[in-house]
Chains A and B, each alone.
Chain A
Amino acid sequence: MTGTAKRLGDRLLGGAMIAMLGLVLAFLVTPLLVTCLLAFDARSFLGPLPPPALSMRWFEKLVSLDYVTTGLATSLKIAVLTTSVDVFIGTAAAVALDRSNFPGRSLVMAVFLSPLIVPAVVIGFALLLFLSRIGIVDGFTRLLCGHIVITLPYVVRTVLASLSGRDRRLTEAALVLGATEHQAFWNITLPLIRSGMVTGAVFAFAVSLDDVAVSMFLTDPSTYTLPVALVSNMRASFDLTIAAAAVLLMAVSAVLIIVLERFVGFDRLLGQGLFRS
Chain B
Amino acid sequence: MSNAVEFHRVSRRFGAVTAVDDVSFSIAAGETVALLGPSGCGKTSILRVIAGFERPDHGTVSIGGRDVTALKPYERNVGLLFQHYALFPHMTVAENIAYGLRHRGADRREIPDRVEAMLALVRLQGFGSRRPHQLSGGQQQRVALARALATRPGLILLDEPLSALDAKLRQDLRAELKQVLAAVNSTAMVVTHDQEEAMSLGERVFLMQAGRIVQVGAPSDVYGRPGSRFAADFMGRTNWIEAQVTRRETGLARALSRSGLSLTVPDCPSDAIDICVRPENIILSAADDADQHGMANSAKGRILNVALLGSTRQILVEMAGGEQILVMQANRVGDGLGPGQAVTIGFPVDACITMPAGNPTGLAA
Contact = CB atoms under 8 A, between A and B. Distances in A.
A179 B82 contact: no
A188 B79 CA distance: 18
B335 to A, nearest CB: 51
A130 B84 CA distance: 49
B151 A177 contact: yes
Contacts of B88: 170, 173-174, 188
Contact of B53 (A172, A188, A191): A172
Interface residues of A, number: 16
Interface stretch (B61-69, B98-106, B110-118, B228-236): B98-106
A177 B86 CA distance: 12
Nearest to A178: B103
A166 B147 CA distance: 18
A175 B87 CA distance: 13
B78 interface: yes
A43 to B, nearest CB: 55
Interface in A157-180: 166, 169-170, 172-180
21 contacts: A169-B84, A172-B51, A173-B80, A173-B82, A173-B87, A174-B99, A176-B52, A176-B53, A176-B79, A176-B80, A177-B74, A177-B100, A177-B147, A177-B151, A178-B104, A178-B105, A179-B103, A180-B72, A183-B103, A191-B90, A192-B90
A7 to B, nearest CB: 37
Contacts of A175: 52-53, 72-74
A192 B88 CA distance: 9
A179 B78 contact: no
Interface of A: 166, 169-170, 172-180, 183, 188, 191-192
Classify chain B: how many residues form its interface, as a range.
20 to 34
A170 B151 contact: no
Interface in B245-260: none
A178 B74 contact: yes
Interface string B88-102: 111000000001100
A176 B99 contact: no
A179 B99 CA distance: 9
B16 to A, nearest CB: 14
B196 to A, nearest CB: 27
B106 to A, nearest CB: 10
